[in-house]
Copies of this chain bind each other. A is one copy, B any other.
C-alpha cells in the first residue's frame, strides 16, 4: 500500500449561511482545495464526500453524483460516505484507501452540511439519528442530554468541575479568534461561559458546539508523486476507524469512548508514534466534555486528568499539546459532515506553517480525532510534513 499525502486543502467560512445552498458550499470548498493544490479537475479521478443528513436537512440524497455534476467532474465516480458526525473522516479514510491501493492517483475528498434551512428543534431531532433512534431518540434523548450524562459521570468519578468544562470553551474561542473560517471569532471569559444558559445540566450553551453551514475539502495524491504537485505535501501516516455500541447505555464506561481508544492505539502503532510525539491535535469537541474525554482517550492525559489539564492551560497553544487550534467544533462551528475534513485542513495548515496568529511552533506530527454520535464511530488520522 502506497503512502498518501494531502496536496491541497480548502474550506468555506463556517457559519449561518443563509445566502447559499448545499451545492454552492461544497463546490466552493472543492474548488478552493483544487486551487490550493494548483491542479485542474481533469487530474481528479475519483472523489468521496462526507455528509450526515442532507436528505433530512435539505431533501437531497445522492450527493456524490451532485458534486461530480456541479464541479464539472462527470463521469468520475464520487461516493457519499456517512457515519454521523464522523462522516468527513470516513470520506477521508475511503479517499486514502482509493489512493493507497493504487486504484486512483488524485482524489478529492469533501465534507459538507447545510443545517440552517430548518429550525433548531428539527435539526436536533435529525441529529438524534446519530444515536440509537429506537432506544435513545424515540425516548427523548438528544445529544446534549447524552453528553450531559457523560459529563456528570466524569465529574462523579474524577472530580471534574463545571469550570474545567468552561475552560475548554474559553480556549477554543481564543483559538477561533485567529481563524478566518470560524463561525465565532470572539473571545469569551470563563465567567461568560459559566453564566451561559443551561441546556442539559451540567452542559450550558457555551459547552455546546453550534449549528453550522459549511464545507471543507482536501486533495489526495500518492506521497511518491506529491512533491510534483505541492511544495508542502502533508503525509498521512495512519487512518484508523473503530466502532462501539450505538447507545450510551450499552457502554461499560461513560467516561471514555472505547472506539476512540482502539482507533488511536492502532494509529499510533501503525505510525510508530506515541501520544507524546503529537504537538497539534484537532479533536471532536461537540461538547466541552467530549474534548476532555478525547484528550484522555488519545493518551495525552491520564484518565480523569483531562479536565484539570484544560483548566491549567496545558491544551492551549504553547502548552503541552495544542488542542483544537482551529477553534474546534465549539468556535469554528460544526457542520457535521464537514468537520472531519475541516480538521484535516487545519492540521495541514499547521504542518505547513500557514496558520498565522494561530500557528503552533515546531510542529512535527498532527492528529485528528472525529467521533460519530456519542462514540459509536471513531476515526483517528496521524499526519506529518511530507517535505
Which residue numbers of A lie inside 8 Å of B, CB to CB? 1, 21, 23, 52-56, 58-66, 68-70, 73-84, 90, 93-94, 97-98, 100-103, 125-126, 128-134, 137-138, 241-247, 250, 258-259, 262, 372-373, 376-377
Contact = CB atoms under 8 A, between A and B. Distances in A.
* Count of this chain's copies in the oligomeric assembly: 2
Contact of A64 (B64, B73, B76, B243): B243
Q: Max chain B CB contacts within 10 Å: which of A66, A73, A93, A137?
A: A66
A62 B82 contact: yes
A143 to B, nearest CB: 12
Contact of A79 (B54, B241, B245): B241
A239 to B, nearest CB: 10
B64 A83 contact: yes
A56 B57 CA distance: 9
A92 to B, nearest CB: 12
5 contacts: A52-B61, A59-B128, A65-B243, A77-B243, A97-B97
Nearest to A85: B62
Contact of A243 (B75, B132, B245, B262): B75
Nearest to A94: B94
Given A55-B55, A130-B61, A376-B65, A90 B79 contact: yes
B246 A65 contact: yes
Contacts of A377: 62, 64-65, 77
Given A62-B377, A241-B77, A69 B129 contact: no
A373 B134 CA distance: 29
A88 B187 CA distance: 47
Given A63-B82, A66-B246, A77-B377, 12 more contacts: A55-B56, A60-B134, A62-B82, A62-B84, A68-B243, A68-B376, A75-B259, A77-B242, A79-B241, A80-B81, A82-B82, A101-B102
A126 B55 contact: yes
Contacts of A61: 52-53, 82, 84, 129-130
Nearest to A21: B134
A52 B80 CA distance: 10
B75 A244 contact: yes
Contacts of A126: 55
A79 B69 contact: no
B97 A62 contact: no
A125 to B, nearest CB: 8
A55 B58 contact: no
Interface hub of A23, A77, A245, A262 (most chain B Cβ within 10 A): A77
Given A55-B126, A61-B129, A65-B377, A245 B103 contact: no
A56 B58 contact: no
B76 A243 contact: yes
Nearest to A242: B75
B79 A81 contact: yes
